[in-house]
Structure 1
Amino acid sequence: MKLASMIVFSSLVILMAMPSAMAVTWEVEIEDFAFVPGRLRINVGDAIEWRNRDDISHTATSDNGVFNSGLLARDQTFTFLFTEPGVYPYHCTPHPTMRDTITVVGPTGVGDLPVAPREFEIAQNYPNPFNASTTIGFSLPSDGRVTVEIFNLLGQRLVTLVDGEMSAGSHRMIWDAGELQSGVFFYRVGFDGQSRTGRMTLLK
């Protein structure tokens, strides 16, 4: 009986000593005026390393002041360790349309709560320039009717990607240029009587 008890006790000690999860360092590249990947869901204890791939300097700055990379020149990095669960929207200070969100989840899933953006914004499409398809991102502070339209240089509407009700939050739409030839195009996002327009370049 004593031997059996010792074996069971030893097994418990080994199991208790094993970590429940391994901490991870996630890599986010800042490229073509976008954070890639965008929205991330990570665990408490994980870290994120941002690396600027653009020739222009950028920052990774949280909206609530929790972290701030300062200006990152090309190939410079910034790493931040997340020790508290929560939702961390962040942006690039010199280019405020560059925005994304990090959700940090604790052991019980705390922090996995959606937070509506504070205002209506669009992001630069990614990639840009692009070949064949690109992603258009935008943020809505409340539920409402949304239109997403694509125009050519002559102002002619080529396609309507969205025309309907959408919920508050961050959204992404993919536009496939199909058989269109190389050129400059515009995307216009309409919401609540407002509109925002972005410029993009198709290279084939």
Structure 2
Amino acid sequence: MSTFIETSVFFGVVVSLLAYGIGMLLKQRFHLGVFNPLLISIVITIGVLLLCHIDYNTYNEGAKYLSYLLTPATVALAIPLYDQLAVLKKNWKAILAGIASGVLTSLLCVLALVLLFGLSHEEYVTLLPKSITTAIGIGISEELGGYVSITAAVIIITGVLGNVIGETILKIFRITEPVAKGVALGSASHAIGTAKAMELGEVEGAISSLSIVVSGIMTVIGASLFAGII
């Protein structure tokens, strides 16, 4: 059985899709943020690999084909943004200010935590791109000399947390404006947060999609500047 799995090209794809499907079913059944499909699929996939004694490289031989869908999926985020173009034109100043505030807050929080816990420069730059999409964040981490694998994990954790608790935080602070919700989720928790924004409404999803791109660009610049502090 192990030999069959190790030689199967589609093992990684099948495990990933089944695990995510189980996550979707749990989310629909219980309607709780903790049953985030991505979080559930990560836990199930790790469990399957450990149980079957399959190493990550073997799993990734099949799962990597799913990565090819990331580019068209990212481009597709432009569709809801186009539909809400009038909202964007009307509120562009507030949107840019909100995204800039989100990026600055993220960078300052990382700086504060690094100073508090006495982390090294490498660990510092590893955490700087935590709130942007993986493709950009990994590039920043690699360029600045960080640990790329840890950066990828931190980005996923940040996104999942934003998806799980983002709506609750918005309610606690009584944020009801759709544009503000979109900016908050997109700039703080990238594409995974945008998935939650799309659940909240079309405007939220569109603005969150824009926030992913703009916050990514701002973080490229901001991370380079902040990297020289420590």
> Would the TM-score normalized by the shorter structure come out above 0.5?
no
| Structure with the largest fraction of helix | 2
| Structure with the largest fraction of strand | 1
Larger RCO, structure (CA 8 Å, separation 6 or more): 2
| TM norm structure 1 | 0.22
Q: Highest CA radius of gyration, 1 or 2?
A: 1
